[in-house]
Every structure is written in C-alpha cells, then in structure tokens.
Amino acid sequence: MSTLRADPAISTSPNTAATRPWWRRALDVVDDRLGITALTYPVPEHANNIAWSLGGITAAALVLLVVTGILLTQFYAPVPEEANASVRHIVTHEWGMWFVRGVHFWAAQAMYVTAALHLLRVFLTGSYKRPREGNWLIGVAMFGLVIFALFTGTVLKWDQEGYEALGHNVEVANLLGGGGLWFSPDFANRVSILIRLYSAHVVLIPGLIVVLFTLHALLVKRHRISPHPSLTADDESTDAPAAEPVEPFTHHLRRISALGLALLGALGLLAVTFPPPVGPAPVEGIEVIKPMWPFWWMFTLENWIGLSGILYGGGALFTILVALPFIDRNPHRAWRHRRVAMTIASAIVAAIIVLTILMAFTTAKTHLGM
C-alpha cells in the first residue's frame, strides 16, 4: 500500500474547520471555486529528485524568460534601422534593464541546458517508452522550439553575430527549397525579415511552447510519473512500484518553485558578473563572429563539409530523436539492459561534445555565398 505523505498546508477535514486560521478558511473559499486541491494528487517520491525535476526547472526558466521578455519588449524597436540602437538604449538609459537583459540572456541558455538534460534523463530512464511515446514527441518538439527561440533571440540583437546567424539560416533554408520558404526574404519582400522573426520570438514560439507544455503536463498526469528503473524489480513496468511512498503533487511544485528561486539567483549573478555585450550594427557580406555555443557542434560540421553540414547535423539529430520510440522496441527501461541504445546515444553525445570543443578552438570562417 502506498504511503501518502500529507501536506499540512492543505487539509479539508470539516472537524478542524472552526479552529483553522482565517487565511486558511479564505483559501478554502477560493479552493471551492477553483479546485486547487485537485493538484494534491499523489506522485511517487522519486519525482521530487533533481533529475525528475529538470522539466519543472525548464518551465521555471520559461517563466523567467516570459517576464523579462515582456519587460524588454517595452523598449525594443524591431526595425533594422533602430534595433541595435534600441538594445544599446536598453543597456545604457533604462534603469536596471541591463540586468533584466542579462537575466533574459542567461535564462535562455539555462532553458536550453535544462531541456537537453531533461531529454537525456528521459532517455536514460526509458521514460519515452510505451505508453509515453506521444509525450516524448511533444518534448522533442518543445526542444526544437527552444533552439528556435535561442536563434531568433540572437538575431533580434541585430548585431554582426545575429545577422550572420540569420544569413546561415537563410542559406540553409535555400538548401531546403520550398521547405525553407518562410525563412526566405522573398516570402514577404516588403517587410524586413527581422520583424517576422520578432513576431516569431515574442508570439509564435512562446505560444506554441505554452500549448505544447500544457499537453505535455496533461499527458504526464494521464500516464502518471514514469517509474525509476532502479526502484522496481520489473524494469518493463510502465508505473512506479506500488510500494513506493507517494507525496502530493503540490510538494513537487513547491520544490520546483524553490529550485526556480535558486535558478533566478544564479542567473542574476551571471547577469551581474558576465553581462552580455551589444555588438556593432551588422554589415552584410562579412563573417567575423562565431555563433552562440549551443550551435558550435553544427558549425564545426559546416567548417568540414560546408553549409549543408548544419542541415545534415541538425536534421540527423532531430530525425533520431523523433524516430527513437518507434525504432527502440526494447521493453527494458534500465540502462544496463539497453546496450545498443546506450552505445548509440553515448556516441552521439560524445560527438556533439567533441565537435563543440573543436569549435571553441576555431576562428570564424567564411561560408555564406561560397
């Protein structure tokens, strides 16, 4: 029988109603109307581990990005003639906004890292297997959107780094023919592509992430928290062992909130210590800047085989991620019983790390228009 560790903050016993403080009774009134206590459903204890909280930390980073992003949009001018100057104005003239921008910059990278680690954890514990294949695909789609958000955010600075990133993307879109039409300046030739990417960055991408996150969370609730393979004798089981203690889901939310506070503090320290600079306004036809580090592994491939390296590298990674639950039919979830999957995944992760390190020791090279 599972043991539910009660949440003392939430008690609906009528016997204690008279002795409850006024604010708890006020909360009861709210709860009667909004059903907040529905969130106290039980989840297995291992869900509160850091590894199982990575998705929640990613969501916390998203919240920070939305809040800081809303503040930044108040002062940003998304037209090519003004964009770079408006970012400079944000840094130098709007009180405290350099800090907000710094937190936004570091939160974007934190979200990329935690989303990648979350994907890795889900892979290592076999949590993408039946019946959670659909939720894995939603997670992969969200990871793609996070990368797209990183890319569009880089372009919005409208400095040389952002413009070169955009140039690469347009060239890759050209390689895709009609598939890359949206990225082509010809798609809407009376409008700057910066404006379209701005709309994607502040509306389309976060909107899609929120919709997919809602589906993701509903499916986690529907399928329950995936089992920890080392806690069950049968590592093919789709659920946590019945004997594992459970806690209210609100405990999970409480811990994620605490981790989110710690994340905000860490990002604030990074923003103060390593504030992101604003580069010179862009010039067409030159390549002098390396891209942001999450893209380095693809750019090493580009150095080797040309622009199509970005397409092949990124395409191969996402093809594998999408196909994973359909190709890997091994019912075991413990990594010890999944030698083929573990070997391939280790090779891919090692390749990405090596390619990234190689780019760290490489200077920017010219690829566009070559």
Partner 1 sequence: MTRRPDSRTGTTVPIEATAVRPGRRAVLVVILAGLFAVAGAATASAHGGEETTVGYVLAQQALGHLAHDTSAAGIEVAMEKVDDALETSDNAGVDIAKVQQARAALEANQVTRAQELLAQAISAAVAALPPATGMSTGTRTIEPELAGRPDAPAPSWILAIASLALLLGGSYLAYRYRPADTPAQLRRRLAQPADRDAQASREETP
**Which residues, numbered 7-66, are part of the site for partner 1 (CB under 8 A)?**
45-46, 48-49
Residues 68-97 binding partner 1 (CB under 8 A) are: 79-84, 88, 91-92, 96
The least distance separating partner 1 from the CB of residue 253, rounded to whole angstroms, comes to: 10
SS3 state of residue 9:
coil
DSSP 205: H
246: β partners:
4, 44
44: β partners:
246
Nearer to partner 1 by Cβ, of 284 and 361: the residue is: 284
* Site pattern 223..242 for partner 1 (x: CB under 8 A): -----x-xxxx--x----xx
Q: Which of 259, 334, 342, 358 binds partner 1 (CB under 8 A)?
A: 259
Nearer to partner 1 by Cβ, of 61 and 166: the residue is: 166
Nearer to partner 1 by Cβ, of 69 and 206: the residue is: 69
* Residue 4 in contact with partner 1, rule: CB under 8 A: no
* Residue 370 in contact with partner 1, rule: CB under 8 A: yes
The least distance separating partner 1 from the CB of residue 33, rounded to whole angstroms, comes to: 27
The least distance separating partner 1 from the CB of residue 32, rounded to whole angstroms, comes to: 27
* Residue 131 in contact with partner 1, rule: CB under 8 A: no
* Residue 167 in contact with partner 1, rule: CB under 8 A: yes
Distance of alpha carbon 354 from alpha carbon 344, whole angstroms: 15
What is the separation of C-alpha 314 from the centre of its chain, rounded to a whole number of angstroms? 16
247: β partners:
43
* Residue 315 in contact with partner 1, rule: CB under 8 A: yes
| 104 contacts: CB under 8 Å, gap ≥ 6 | 64, 65, 68, 69, 72, 153
Q: Which of 11, 109, 192, 303 binds partner 1 (CB under 8 A)?
A: 192
Q: Which of 266, 347, 349, 357 binds partner 1 (CB under 8 A)?
A: 266
Residues 194-223 binding partner 1 (CB under 8 A) are: 194
Distance of alpha carbon 200 from alpha carbon 208, whole angstroms: 10
Size of interface with partner 1, in residues (CB under 8 A): 99
SS3 state of residue 4:
strand
To 10 degrees, what angle do helices 54-73 and 249-273 make?
50
Distance of alpha carbon 261 from alpha carbon 291, whole angstroms: 30
The least distance separating partner 1 from the CB of residue 354, rounded to whole angstroms, comes to: 23
The least distance separating partner 1 from the CB of residue 366, rounded to whole angstroms, comes to: 10
The least distance separating partner 1 from the CB of residue 34, rounded to whole angstroms, comes to: 23
Residues 94-113 binding partner 1 (CB under 8 A) are: 96, 98-99, 101-102
Would residue 107 be called left, alpha or beta, if left means φ above 0 and alpha means ψ between -120 and 50 degrees? alpha
Q: Which of 119, 142, 271, 317 binds partner 1 (CB under 8 A)?
A: 271
Distance of alpha carbon 317 from alpha carbon 311, whole angstroms: 10
Task: Copy the structure tokens of residue 180.
Answer: 């890359």
The least distance separating partner 1 from the CB of residue 199, rounded to whole angstroms, comes to: 15
Distance of alpha carbon 69 from alpha carbon 65, whole angstroms: 6
* Residue 134 in contact with partner 1, rule: CB under 8 A: no
* Residue 191 in contact with partner 1, rule: CB under 8 A: yes
Nearer to partner 1 by Cβ, of 191 and 349: the residue is: 191
Nearer to partner 1 by Cβ, of 48 and 356: the residue is: 48
Sign, CA torsion 121/125/126/127: negative
To 10 degrees, what angle do helices 97-124 and 54-73 make?
150
Nearer to partner 1 by Cβ, of 18 and 370: the residue is: 370
The least distance separating partner 1 from the CB of residue 22, rounded to whole angstroms, comes to: 25
| Contact criterion met (CB below 8 Å) for 191 and 200 | no
Distance of alpha carbon 163 from alpha carbon 155, whole angstroms: 6
Would residue 248 be called left, alpha or beta, if left means φ above 0 and alpha means ψ between -120 and 50 degrees? beta
